[in-house]
Amino acid sequence: MSTVLRRTFLLIPLLVTTAPGARAAETWELIDRLKDVPVGEWVRLSYSRGSEHLLLVAAKDEQTITLEERVREKGYVTSWTQVVIDLNKKLPVIFRERMLTGEIREANIEAKESGLNEDFHALLTARFWEQPGTERVVVPAGRFSCKVYESVFNKKFIRIFISSDIPLYPVKVLMPGYELTIRLVAFGKGMESRFLPVKDACPKEGAAIGAGEAR
């Protein structure tokens, strides 16, 4: 699997399943929230590994949602990708990468455990339990009252913080066993995708995203 594909998998939102025998109030599925997130909604996230990610709902129909991601490292665009997720199967099925030339490369990637990055596989298959009460979380985007959900996957602890104000992605994700923390930097609505080839060229590595593109 390419480095870009592995990095993109890290950013795909949590698609979690209900634990067998658990009460509905004890578990939570982001996949149900994604069904209600409109096209154009976006979040900007900072990764503890040093990168910044812009995640956008680029397209949507009754069966699928297309998530677009642009990654910036040290102020420059280093990847621009899309992942199509089947909302019924709860799996990514198509991966697209926009090359420096503007060419779009597409691959069918119906997810299998053996082909997934470890971090993404943990998020995709973990079963989360809702913790009692709420917690006040401070991130670069502001302060949010969040519900907290926890899981242990392959003996590694995962904790996510969900705000009702941000349907697209958790406000904060803690994965200490994977040496990863994700924080919300900014969010908004109404952003248009510029992924597909148009007159303008794809930002080359070393070219910063324009100020009008939510950085």
Domain that holds residue 131: 3-197
pLDDT at site 12: 42
- Quote the pLDDT of residue 113: 45
Predicted confidence (pLDDT) per residue in 102-133, tens digit: 899 998 876 554 344 566 667 666 778 889 98
Mean pLDDT per segment of 10 residues, for the chain of length 215 residues?
A: 45 42 53 84 94 94 92 90 86 86 85 53 74 94 95 87 91 91 96 78 42 41
pLDDT given at position 59: 96
Query: Could you tell me the two tokens for 146?
Result: 């969040």
> Is 180 inside any structural domain?
yes
Is there a domain that residue 213 lies in?
no
Residue-level pLDDT at 182: 92
3-state DSSP percent of the chain in helix, strand and coil, to 5: 15, 40, 40
Partnered with residue 60 across adjacent β-strands are 65
CATH number, domain with residue 83: 2.50.20
pLDDT at 10: 43
Residue 9 has a pLDDT of 42
pTM metric for this prediction: 0.76
Tell me what pLDDT residue 151 has.
Answer: 86
Residue 90 lies in a domain: yes
Please give the tally of structural domains in the chain: 1
Residue 26 forms part of a structural domain: yes
Q: Is 68 helix (H, G, I), strand (E, B) or coil?
A: strand
Handedness of CA 160, 65, 78, 207 (dihedral sign): negative
| Structural domain contains residue 202 | no
Q: Is 147 exposed, middle or buried (0-12, 13-18, 19+ CB in 10 A)?
A: middle
- What per-residue confidence (pLDDT) applies to 19? 41
Which of 170, 165, 183, 167 is CA-nearest to residue 126? Answer: 170
